[in-house]
């Protein structure tokens, strides 16, 4: 039982490059979230998916797109990376009591 | 709107000291309350939860009681260890929408 997995763990991009962050959960949860965590800024919600086939914007969606591929997988895409997107990205899935289970994170640097 | 306020850190304690990290909330409904812990270089982990008033959540020696009358959910531990050094987040869930509202986090340092 792996819980929530994220790939890659680390990534360095040049400005303008694109990439997709992958997230998968094996807990059969309906809801999944993407956050970014910056020093001094806490956790900020980028996008969420309340159920398979639905996605909605969070607090900071600009520059990102998401796909809820199936119940297990929720990916985050940066179409044209910018230095302001340097951050640690966390995926989470939501349990029946609204508790969240987080992945280990992807540490992204955009130069 | 709904919000969470937790005490600012860093909090520095000696090993075996008593820990309290204060958390208060504002919510219009009947939220669930959580404490998460984040160790260096890792993701957040659920530490404990309480889903209704007067519930006490506990795990790994940590405790917190859901106090509706004072809108608080303070985290306590009787005797901290160096391994408890981490950032602790108080959070509010089930607020009527899909978002969980996180506090800003409190960094704890425990000295040997």
Q: What is the pLDDT of residues B32-51, one digit of tens each?
A: 999 999 999 899 999 999 99
In angstroms, the separation between the Cα of residue A80 and the nearest Cα of chain B is 26
Instruction: Report yes or no: B59 at the A interface, CB cutoff 8 Å.
Output: no
Query: Which residues, other chains included, contact A22 with Cβ-Cβ below 8 Å and sequence gap of 6+?
Result: A6, A7, A73, A75
Q: Could you say which of A31, A33, A101 has the minimum Cβ distance to residue B46?
A: A101
pLDDT of residue B2: 86
Mean pLDDT in residue range B21-36: 93
Indicate the pLDDT class of residue B99, thresholds 50, 70 and 90. confident
Q: What is the pLDDT of residues B47-85, one digit of tens each?
A: 999 999 999 999 999 999 999 999 999 999 999 999 999
Inter-residue contact A4 to A106 (CB < 8 Å): no
In angstroms, the separation between the Cα of residue B5 and the nearest Cα of chain A is 12
Q: Do B102 and A103 touch (CB under 8 A)?
A: no
Mean pLDDT in residue range A43-60: 93
Helix (H, G, I), strand (E, B) or coil at B100: coil
In the 8-state DSSP scheme, what is residue B83? G
72-101 of B, contacting A, C-beta below 8 A: 89, 91, 93-94, 98-100
- Determine what percent of chain B is predicted with pLDDT higher than 90: 81
Return the residue of B nearest to A49 by Cα: B98
Helix (H, G, I), strand (E, B) or coil at B60: coil
Q: How many CB atoms lie within 10 A of CB B17?
A: 14
In the 8-state DSSP scheme, what is residue B70? T
Query: A64-78 in b/e burial notation, b at 16+ Cβ within 10 A?
Result: bebebeebbbbbbeb
């Amino acid at each position: 039982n792996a819980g929530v997995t994220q790939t890659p763990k680390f990534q360095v991009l040049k400005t303008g490059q694109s990439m997709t962050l992958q997230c998968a959960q094996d807990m059969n949860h309906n809801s999944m979230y993407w956050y970014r965590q910056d020093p001094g800024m806490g956790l900020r919600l980028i996008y969420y998916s309340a159920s398979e086939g639905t996605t909605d914007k969070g607090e900071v969606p600009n520059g990102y797109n998401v796909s809820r591929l199936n119940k297990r997988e929720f990916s985050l895409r940066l179409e044209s990376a910018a230095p302001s997107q340097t951050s640690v990205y966390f995926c989470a899935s939501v349990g029946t009591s609204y508790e969240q289970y987080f992945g280990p994170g992807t540490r992204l640097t955009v130069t | 709107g709904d919000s969470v306020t937790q005490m600012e850190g860093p909090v520095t304690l000696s090993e075996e000291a008593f820990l309290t990290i204060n958390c208060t909330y504002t919510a219009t409904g009947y939220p669930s309350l959580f404490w998460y812990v984040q160790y260096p270089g890792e993701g957040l982990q659920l530490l404990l939860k309480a889903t209704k008033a007067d519930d006490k959540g506990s795990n790994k020696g940590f405790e917190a009681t859901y106090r509706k009358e004072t809108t608080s959910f303070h985290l306590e531990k009787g005797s901290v260890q160096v391994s408890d050094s981490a950032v602790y987040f108080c959070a509010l869930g089930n607020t009527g929408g899909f978002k969980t509202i996180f506090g800003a986090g409190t960094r704890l340092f425990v000295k040997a």
